Amino acid sequence: MAVVQYSDEAAVYFNLKTHRSKKAIIYAVRNLRHKGGRPRNTGAALQFVQDHVFTASSGSRRLEGVPQILFLMTGGQSNDDVSGAALNLKQMGVLSFAIGMKNAQQEELQNIAFSSKFLFNLPVFGELLSVQPELAAFVQAAIQTERPTVLESPQRDIVFLLDGSDDTRSDFTAMKSFVHRVVDALNVGEDNDRVSVVQYSRDPQTHFSLNTYTEKQDVLAAVQQLNHKGGRPLNTGAALNYVRNTAFVDSSGSRHQEGVPQILILLSGGRSEDDVASAAAALKQDKVVPFCVGTRNADILEQQMIADNPSYAFSVLRFDDIGSIDEQLVSFVKRVPHQQPRLTTQIGLGKTLSSLSLSLFLSFAT
């Protein structure tokens, strides 16, 4: 846990690795002193938390897939813009709760909160007690959930779903290079990792299935020979349904019945023209774990809805920059465990949580 207090500037009282016990954290919280100051710069404070709290040097385990949670408590409207910093946190996969009191602005809280379920606007500070049980239950359930294994699974079924619409024509070489690098980092083989590639725009098209190639060099050669599909509109929802019904099935080489992790890696350059929510939910119901990589023209909230959890949704300015997330994505992919019965607790957005990084964020501008 970490605690930050802000007014015109933000100050870290302790970071995520300062205290190792509940007793020490409670003692530190009880000794907090009011900061004071004007104005209230919530936007700058949100950016401060991203740059100085949710980082590895401060104890964040985001790169290990540990959920990152922010509780913002503010008593009024910000003097600066919050939208940019709030979006940056969402793109990082931080689940932000916005708790407004007294003179807080509803629209501003909506910008900050990860979803409407994570927004509380209270008339007075005393009403904090009314939401404390709900927030405490969320955290308690999260920390009591069994820690997932970090051992690499020896086998994975991985389907790449590539946006082949007209908008990605100039990006397709970079997209192929990304797929090539990810595949090259895998242990491809009939009894190891299997790979499939599907491209879509209006309609999806399978280039090769999970059981088409058994050697890595054959997969890499097939990736190099991919041609851009083209077409409009971008129907991501239909493509998600297609891979669920066509790619992740026994006849195409899927080993889902053996408990082999089923992984989808979606590369998208824009917002879908059709609904993705029901298709994404159906994939997750079938225990497919989606990862999403989108450019700035993609809808980050749509990407996070599709992804198995928000930290599995990556955002880059353009596909030429996609090399910056290669290692992180491969690391996450390799940590997807074999599907087996586990004691789990479902929280919030349907994510199974184990451990978490929690930042308590206080505004006490006078």
**Which range (44-48, 121-125, 157-161, 181-185) has the least confidence?**
121-125
pLDDT digits (tens, 9 = 90+) for 95-130: 888 888 877 888 888 888 877 777 888 777 666 766
Query: What percent of the chain lies above the pLDDT cut of 70?
Result: 84
Q: Which residues contact 15 (CB under 8 A, 6 or more apart)?
A: 2, 53, 58, 59
Q: How far apart are CA 270 and CA 298, in angstroms?
A: 4
Q: How far apart are CA 175 and CA 267, in angstroms?
A: 8
Whether 56 has a pLDDT exceeding 70, the answer reads yes
**Which range (131-145, 178-192, 350-364) has the least confidence?**
350-364
Q: Which residues contact 175 (CB under 8 A, 6 or more apart)?
A: 162, 163, 168, 267, 319, 322
Q: Where are the alpha helices (DSSP H) in 31-171?
A: 42-52, 83-92, 106-112, 128-144
pLDDT higher for 186 or 331?
186
Q: Which tokens in the block code for residue 192?
A: 């190891």
- What residues form DSSP beta bridges with 11? 5
The verdict on pTM exceeding 0.75 is no
Mean pLDDT, residues 318-347 taken together: 69
Q: How far apart are CA 222 and CA 14, in angstroms?
A: 51
DSSP 147: P
Q: Which tokens in the block code for residue 356?
A: 């978490």
Q: Which tokens in the block code for residue 236?
A: 């991501």
pLDDT higher for 193 or 82?
193
Q: Which residue has the tokens 């940590």?
A: 335
pLDDT digits (tens, 9 = 90+) for 177-230: 999 999 999 999 989 999 999 999 999 999 999 999 999 999 999 999 999 999
Distance of CA 61 to the CA centre of its chain: 13
Query: Where in the sequence of the chain do the CATH 3.40.50.410 domains occur?
Result: 2-148+353-363, 156-340
E strands along the chain, which residues? 2-6, 10-14, 68-76, 95-103, 119-122, 156-163, 193-200, 204-208, 262-268, 288-294, 313-315, 346-347, 351-352, 357-363
Helix axes 216-224, 172-184, angle to 10 degrees: 180
Q: Give how far Cα 164 sits from Cα of 157, 160, 184, Å.
A: 22, 12, 22
Exposure of 92 by Cβ count < 10 A (0-12 exposed, 13-18 middle, 19+ buried)? middle
Q: Which residue has the tokens 């992804």?
A: 307
Return the CATH number of the domain spanning residue range 2-148+353-363. 3.40.50.410
Q: Give how far Cα 23 sits from Cα of 20, 61, 71, 357, Å.
A: 9, 22, 20, 17
Q: Give how far Cα 29 sits from Cα of 19, 52, 117, 361, Å.
A: 11, 19, 26, 12
- What residues form DSSP beta bridges with 92? none
Mean pLDDT, residues 57-80 taken together: 84
DSSP 188: B
Among residues 90, 100, 73, 67, which one has the least CA distance to residue 1?
67
Q: How confident is the model at residue 237 (pLDDT cuts 50, 70, 90)?
A: very high
State residue 136's pLDDT score: 66
Superfamily of domain 156-340: von Willebrand factor, type A domain (3.40.50.410)
Q: How far apart are CA 259 and CA 152, in angstroms?
A: 14
DSSP element (H, E) containing 175: helix 172-184
